C-alpha cells in the first residue's frame, strides 16, 4: 500500500475508544505530542499546552459556530417520519438539506416540524419540497418568516456525528461548541477547539503566545466517505472560509519574528493553506476544495493541534501530510495502545 491509496489510511479501532460523552473538564483531555524532527512521541494533557508551545507562537482558532441543523418532522400528507440535515441556503433563500424519508417526496409536498422544546407558543414550521440537486441534496422552501439561524434555534437540534450512539442532549448544546464560537454556519464542530477554555487561552497569552481567528463552516463533506481507492480521483467537497486582512497581517508578523503558526484543527489548517494558495498569506474569502494529502508541502502552517480522525478520512490524510504517513501510523498505534479517546469528544494530538 502507498500513501496515494485509500486503504493506506485504514486502521482498526476498538469501539470502546470512541468517545460517547465529553469530559466534564475541557482541559482534562490527554494530548499525544508528535515531534516531526526526531519522530518522538510523548504524552501530556491539553492543560500543559502553554508550556509545549513557545513565546511568539500564534494559535489560529476557527470561530465557526455549529448550527442546530438536525430537523425531525412528519410528511404533512401522510404522517410518515422525515429527517433532514440543514446545509446552507441558495441565493433565492431556499434551504439545502440532506433528507431522509420512506418513499420519495414530490415537488410541492410539505413536511411539518414542531418546536424542539414542545412550546406550543411557536407555530409549526412547514418546509415545501422544491427539487433535488444532482448530488441528491434537497432544496426546500421554509413557509415561515424568520432568519435561518432563528428558525433552527427553535426547530432544530445539534447534529451529533453518527458514531456518537445516543441522542443529543441539552448539555450538548453548550459542550459541542467551542467557547469562542461566534459565526453560525457549521453542521459539525471544529473539534480540536472543544478543548479550550477561556482560562487556557489566557494562560497561553500570559506566556506570550498570541491567538487569532479564521472561519471555516464545516459542511456536508464531514458526513461523506471517500469512495475512490486512487486518491487522485477523489473530489473534495467545498467549504466556505475566510481570513481577514488584520488577521493575515498578524500571521505574517508572527513569521517575521520567528514565531510558529499553530493551527487549531484541520479546519483552521485548510483555511490558512487555501488562503496561501491564492498568492501568499493574505486575506481571502471564498469556497475551498483543497485536498491536503501526502506529499503536500505546507506553506502557512507550522504546527497543528488536532483530534484523532476516522479511518480512511481526508482529515487523517491531512495530518499524514504534515507529520509524514509512517509517523502518523505509529502515533495512532501508540494512541490505541495507550487507550486514548477518539473522534469528536475524544483526546488530541499536537504535531510540532
Listed in sequence order, the residues at least 6 apart from 174 whose beta carbon sits closer than 8 Å to its beta carbon are none
* 224 has pLDDT over 90: no
Nearest to 255 by CA among 274, 277, 279, 280: 280
**CA distance linking residue 106 with residue 128, whole number of Å:** 10
Listed in sequence order, the residues at least 6 apart from 326 whose beta carbon sits closer than 8 Å to its beta carbon are none
Average predicted confidence (pLDDT) for the chain: 95
Helices (H), 244-324: 245-256, 266-276, 314-323
pLDDT of res. 135: 80
Residue range 240-274, pLDDT digits in tens: 999 999 999 999 999 999 999 999 999 999 999 99
DSSP 8-state assignment for residue 34: E
DSSP 8-state assignment for residue 8: G
Residue range 275-327, pLDDT digits in tens: 999 999 999 999 999 999 999 999 999 999 999 999 999 999 999 999 999 99
For 333-338, what is the mean pLDDT?
98
Domain 6-66+176-351 -> CATH class? alpha beta
207, burial (CB in 10 Å: exposed 0-12, middle 13-18, buried 19+): middle
What is the fold of 70-155? Thrombin, subunit H (2.40.10)
Residue range 314-325, pLDDT digits in tens: 999 999 999 999
* 188 has pLDDT over 80: yes
For 27-51, what is the mean pLDDT?
98
pLDDT of res. 201: 98
Contact predicate 251/212, CB 8 Å = yes
* 190 has pLDDT over 80: yes
Listed in sequence order, the residues at least 6 apart from 51 whose beta carbon sits closer than 8 Å to its beta carbon are 207
Sheet holding 58-62, edge to edge: 41-45, 30-34, 348-351, 303-307, 261-264, 58-62, 210-216, 239-243, 284-288
For 208-228, what is the mean pLDDT?
90
The residues spanned by each domain of the chain are: 6-66+176-351, 70-155
Residue with cell 504546527: 303
pLDDT more than 90, % of the chain: 92
pLDDT of res. 220: 79
Residue range 104-139, pLDDT digits in tens: 999 999 999 999 876 678 999 999 999 999 888 999
**CA distance linking residue 177 with residue 65, whole number of Å:** 7
**C-alpha torsion angle, residues 59, 186, 137, 18 (rounded to 10):** 80
222/87: higher pLDDT: 87
**CA distance linking residue 131 with residue 305, whole number of Å:** 40
Amino acid at each position: 500500500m502507498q500513501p496515494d491509496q485509500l486503504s493506506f489510511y485504514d486502521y482498526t479501532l476498538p469501539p470502546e475508544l470512541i468517545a460517547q460523552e465529553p469530559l466534564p473538564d475541557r482541559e482534562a483531555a490527554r494530548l499525544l505530542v508528535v515531534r516531526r524532527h526526531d519522530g518522538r512521541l510523548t504524552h501530556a494533557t491539553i492543560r500543559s499546552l502553554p508550556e509545549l508551545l513557545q513565546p511568539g507562537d500564534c494559535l489560529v482558532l476557527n470561530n465557526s459556530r455549529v448550527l442546530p441543523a438536525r430537523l425531525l418532522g412528519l410528511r404533512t400528507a401522510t404522517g410518515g417520519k422525515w429527517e433532514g440535515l440543514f446545509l446552507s441556503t441558495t441565493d433565492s433563500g431556499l434551504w439545502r438539506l440532506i433528507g431522509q424519508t420512506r418513499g420519495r417526496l414530490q415537488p410541492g409536498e410539505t413536511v411539518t416540524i414542531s418546536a424542539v422544546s414542545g412550546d406550543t407558543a411557536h407555530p409549526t414550521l412547514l418546509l415545501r419540497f422544491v427539487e433535488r440537486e444532482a448530488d441528491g441534496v434537497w432544496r426546500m422552501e421554509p413557509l415561515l418568516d424568520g432568519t435561518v439561524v432563528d428558525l433552527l434555534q427553535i426547530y432544530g437540534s445539534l447534529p451529533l456525528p453518527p458514531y456518537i450512539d445516543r441522542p443529543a442532549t441539552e448539555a450538548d448544546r453548550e459542550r459541542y461548541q467551542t467557547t469562542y464560537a461566534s459565526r453560525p454556519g457549521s453542521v459539525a464542530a471544529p473539534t480540536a477547539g472543544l478543548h479550550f477554555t477561556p482560562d487556557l487561552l489566557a494562560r497561553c497569552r500570559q506566556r506570550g503566545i498570541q491567538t487569532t481567528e479564521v472561519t471555516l463552516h464545516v459542511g456536508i463533506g464531514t458526513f461523506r466517505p471517500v469512495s475512490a481507492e486512487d486518491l487522485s480521483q477523489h473530489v473534495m467537497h467545498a467549504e466556505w472560509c475566510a481570513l481577514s486582512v488584520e488577521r493575515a497581517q498578524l500571521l505574517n508578523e508572527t513569521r517575521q519574528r520567528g514565531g510558529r503558526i499553530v493551527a487549531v484543527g484541520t479546519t483552521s489548517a485548510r483555511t490558512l493553506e487555501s488562503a496561501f494558495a491564492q498568492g501568499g498569506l493574505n486575506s481571502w474569502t471564498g469556497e475551498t476544495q483543497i485536498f491536503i494529502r501526502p506529499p503536500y508541502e505546507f506553506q502557512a502552517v507550522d504546527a497543528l493541534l488536532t483530534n484523532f480522525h476516522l479511518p480512511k478520512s481526508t482529515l487523517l490524510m491531512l495530518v499524514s501530510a504534515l507529520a509524514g504517513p509512517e509517523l502518523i501510523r505509529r502515533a495512532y498505534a501508540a494512541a490505541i495502545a495507550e487507550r486514548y479517546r477518539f473522534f469528536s469528544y475524544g483526546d488530541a494530538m499536537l504535531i510540532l
